[in-house]
């Protein structure tokens, strides 16, 4: 087979690589808006068309998301993460939670086996932050704090592949967590303070079996709620959908 000349990397490809690096390294964090086009033109020292093509390519992969009249935002920190998010958007909430349960079970077990004192301090801090967010009544802040807690557990497992998978999955699971919080459940089930404390306690004790059980226990409650929402909530939804004027 004859050799062929290698095509030179285009200017657009170089700009794409720079943008991907900024996203991957956290310079442009997920959820934040990237600089406006004139700023990128100046910083990258390239033409507008080059910037537009690079942004368009990253929008196509799902790493960037244009918002009409607002700008372009970072949606995922890798094309793999974007692919995970696209797939989970087509999944049922319960399916996504079952996948999350698999990852969190192993993350908790490995964290118990491998955690350091620094990991434990980070876990205690994340647990306290989660509690403060719940007390504030700010649902968005609570979801952020809950996701941060579980990312900290995944980081304490000291498995870079697992941590990266969970990072991508948790970004895509934000809507699923919102769905669970929207189900009429007792506050203790929605907050799950005892369950999350049990995870940290087991990791501190380096009890892998207990950590795995605690992780599954807290997710099982959420999965059961998704499988069979409380009858009261279903009755209320049915009443509302039929336009009944009865109020609780």
What pLDDT is attached to residue 194? 84
- Higher-pLDDT residue of 97 and 204 is 204
In this prediction, residues 145-160 reach a mean pLDDT of 93
Interval 3-40: pLDDT, tens: 444 344 589 999 999 998 998 888 998 889 999 999 99
**Strand ranges in the chain using DSSP code E only, listed in sequence order:** 64-67, 71-74
pLDDT band at 201 (very low <50, low <70, confident <90, very high): very high
Q: How large a percentage of the chain has pLDDT more than 90?
A: 42
- Point out the least confidently predicted range of 28-37, 59-68, 85-94: 85-94
* Backbone dihedral region for residue 71 (phi beyond 0: left; psi -120 to 50: alpha; all else: beta): left
In this prediction, residues 132-146 reach a mean pLDDT of 88
What pLDDT is attached to residue 179? 63
How many whole angstroms separate alpha carbon 64 and alpha carbon 222? Answer: 31
Is pLDDT of 202 > 90? yes
Q: What's this model's pTM, rounded to 2 decimal places? A: 0.64
Is pLDDT of 159 > 90? yes
How many whole angstroms separate alpha carbon 8 and alpha carbon 20? Answer: 19
CB atoms within 10 A of CB 169: 22
Q: What is the DSSP letter of 159?
A: -
pLDDT band at 200 (very low <50, low <70, confident <90, very high): very high
CB-based contact 64:28 (threshold 8 Å)? no
- Higher-pLDDT residue of 247 and 159 is 159
Highest mean pLDDT among 3-7, 59-63, 67-71, 200-204: 200-204
What pLDDT is attached to residue 175? 64
- Higher-pLDDT residue of 86 and 17 is 17
pLDDT band at 121 (very low <50, low <70, confident <90, very high): very high
Is pLDDT of 213 > 70? yes
Count of positions (residues) in the chain: 248
């Amino acid at each position: 087979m004859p050799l062929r000349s290698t095509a030179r990397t285009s200017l657009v490809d170089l700009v794409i690589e720079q943008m991907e690096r900024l996203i991957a390294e956290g310079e442009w964090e997920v959820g934040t808006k990237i600089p406006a086009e004139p700023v990128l033109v100046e910083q990258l020292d390239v033409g507008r068309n080059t910037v537009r093509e690079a942004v368009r390519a990253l929008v196509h992969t799902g790493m960037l998301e244009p918002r009409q009249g607002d700008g372009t935002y970072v949606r995922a920190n890798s094309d793999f993460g974007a692919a995970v998010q696209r797939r989970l958007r087509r999944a049922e909430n319960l399916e996504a939670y079952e996948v999350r349960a698999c990852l969190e079970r192993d993350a908790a077990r490995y964290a118990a086996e491998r955690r350091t004192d620094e990991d434990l301090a980070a876990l205690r801090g994340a647990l306290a932050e989660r509690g403060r967010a719940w007390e504030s009544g700010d649902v968005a802040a609570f979801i952020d704090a809950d996701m941060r807690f579980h990312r900290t557990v995944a980081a304490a497992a000291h498995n870079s592949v697992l941590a990266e998978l969970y990072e991508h999955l948790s970004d895509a699971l934000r809507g699923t967590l919102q769905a669970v919080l929207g189900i009429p459940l007792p506050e203790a089930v929605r907050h799950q303070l005892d369950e999350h404390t049990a995870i940290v306690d087991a990791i501190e004790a380096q009890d892998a079996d207990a950590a795995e059980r605690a992780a599954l226990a807290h997710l099982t409650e959420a999965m059961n709620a998704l499988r069979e929402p409380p009858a009261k909530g279903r009755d209320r939804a049915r009443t509302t959908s039929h336009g009944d004027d009865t109020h609780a």
